[in-house]
Amino acid sequence: MTDSISNKWQMTPPLLALICLTGFIVSLVINYPGFMSPDSVQQILEARAGVYSDWHPPFMAFIWHFTDKIVPGPAGMLLLETALIWSGTFLIALSYFNNPHFPLYALAPCALPFFPPVFGISGAVWKDILMWGFLLLAIGVAGTFTPIGSPSHSRGVPKLVIAASFLLGAILCRHNAVFALIPLIALGAARSIGPAPSHRRIATASFIGALAFAAILLLGAAINAALTTYKPALWRALALFDIAGIIHHLPPEQQQALYDRVPARVRGNGSLDNLLRTYSSYDWVTLVQPENPAFSPEPWPWTHHVIRMGDADLTPQDQTALKHLWRDAILHHPIAWFIHRVSVFRQVIGRTSVMMEPNDFPEWLANAYGHNPERTKLQNYFRWRLTNLVRHRFFRPWIYLGITMLVMLACFLLSFTMERIQIGLIAASGFAHEAGLFLLAPGADFRYSHYMIYTSLLASQLLAQTFFSPATASTPAQSDIV
């Protein structure tokens, strides 16, 4: 009787595809034509000018250059982002949730894109959302890998190339996506090793994974270099933020001496008093505001009128001096730096947000870009509902950081099986991406934690699946479940 019910409700690929297509359409209808922030405007202005900086990785603006010609404005990029998300969701549901004992559980990953903390910013045209879509596809393709030496492994090379292409797309969208890549490459290697690892399989899979990682990094750097028209001093934002944070946490008698080492061209009309007054672990931009700046105010690199930012107003000697000061400040005052970075990270994992603003940028930017249509009644309703939920704890990233660590603990220490290892690696991808923010975050933004929130939920669903049937947990390669 149970078998007949399972067969009746088996989630076939066409049915899953129909469900994901429905999710794609619903997402698109709710978010259309896409929501824009200053970051989004900067990238579309670069896309229209055909001049790309690497303040944001140029790949997204390069794609937008072509989608904007077909569907002007954010709608083309929204279409691409949403297609990536739901294509990845389909592959994940098909590859990891094909459970004969509980076929309806394949719907679980299809619900994740609508989970409020995940969905609340998914309509924003941001590099973060594009990165998420590429990583979902990479996870989904990795789920189709079969053990080395198995009859179906003959198609392994095309799958590897496809998965690597999606990982490449992710690091082309966000510089720090590289942290998320390492566990996912290990996931592909674990899938290729299979449930019965041998020394030969482990060595082969590890070598291929290391080769793929090196190729992705080299190719990503080459593509970024080829696309970049001008280079703002991207590193300078983080350098000034760290230096200011260290000064702020030093004893008063040491603060002025360190501030005086900042190159005069960088200090501009700033002062130590302004630094102590304006420093906030929430965002580095407070240090360079025109009113009472700690450092010389930054020109913004918006195009059409391309403004070279950072390296244009600094001599090579100034740049070298600032880099040396950044290094020395961290090495000589590690406790102050650590306190600063902890404060920043606490802001990151405590930040909540809903982004459903069609014109969330200053009026002077609208003079260059224009305005999108205002929210529809449907969008107003969803924004109202989501905004009311933001104050609840389940929106806060630290909750999902805790879930991620618990899943990793359960998978890597409490039950060390190949299936659990693979689930743990999916959780570790989100954890590594979030941990990278401890070192690199120039401020707090909810979208920084978006990918970690998603992977914590996905890994939790997969871990729960292992308890449905002992047979399922013991034969991941045969059932095509993680």
CB–CB of 330/337 below 8 Å? yes
Query: Is the pLDDT at 465 greater than 80, yes or no?
Result: yes
Distance CA(276)–CA(252), nearest Å, equals 10
Q: Tell which wins on pLDDT, 292 or 24.
A: 24
Q: Tell which wins on pLDDT, 115 or 477.
A: 115
Q: Give the 3-state secondary structure of residue 35.
A: strand
* Residue ranges per structural domain of the chain: 2-228+368-396, 234-332
pLDDT digits (tens, 9 = 90+) for 122-178: 999 999 999 999 999 999 999 988 876 666 555 678 888 999 999 999 999 998 999
Query: Is the pLDDT at 274 greater than 60, yes or no?
Result: yes
Residue 4 confidence (pLDDT): 43
Residue 479 confidence (pLDDT): 38
Q: What is the mean pLDDT of residues 443-463?
A: 96
Instruction: Please report, rounded to a whole number, the percentage of residues in the chain having pLDDT higher than 90.
Output: 67
pLDDT band at 272 (very low <50, low <70, confident <90, very high): very high
Distance CA(446)–CA(347), nearest Å, equals 9
Residue 146 confidence (pLDDT): 80
pLDDT digits (tens, 9 = 90+) for 149-158: 666 555 678 8
The first and second tokens of residue 166, run together, are 């999606």
Query: Would residue 50 be called left, alpha or beta, if left means φ above 0 and alpha means ψ between -120 and 50 degrees?
Result: left
Query: Is the pLDDT at 309 greater than 70, yes or no?
Result: no
Query: Is the pLDDT at 77 greater than 80, yes or no?
Result: yes
Q: Tell which wins on pLDDT, 232 or 402.
A: 402
pLDDT digits (tens, 9 = 90+) for 200-224: 777 877 888 899 999 999 999 999 9
Task: Report the 10 Å Cβ neighbour count for 64.
Answer: 24
Q: Which of 6-10, 350-354, 442-446 has the lowest mean pLDDT?
A: 6-10
* Burial track 435-461 (b if 16+ CB lie within 10 A, e otherwise): ebbeeebbbbbbbbbbbbbbbbbbbbb
pLDDT digits (tens, 9 = 90+) for 91-110: 999 999 977 778 888 999 99
Q: Which of 3-17, 92-106, 188-202, 322-336 has the lowest mean pLDDT?
A: 3-17
Distance CA(416)–CA(424), nearest Å, equals 10
Burial of 305 from C-beta contacts in 10 A (0-12 / 13-18 / 19+): exposed
pLDDT digits (tens, 9 = 90+) for 369-395: 999 999 999 999 999 999 999 999 999
User: Which one-letter amino acid corresponds to residue 25?
Assistant: I
DSSP H or E segment with residue 405: helix 397-409
CB–CB of 61/44 below 8 Å? yes
What are the distances in angstroms from CA 144 to CA 174, 190, 477? Answer: 25, 12, 10
Query: Is the pLDDT at 250 greater than 60, yes or no?
Result: yes
Distance CA(14)–CA(8), nearest Å, equals 14
Q: What are phi and psi of 42, to 5 degrees?
A: -55, -45
Helix ranges (DSSP H) in 32-120: 38-49, 58-70, 75-96, 108-111, 116-119
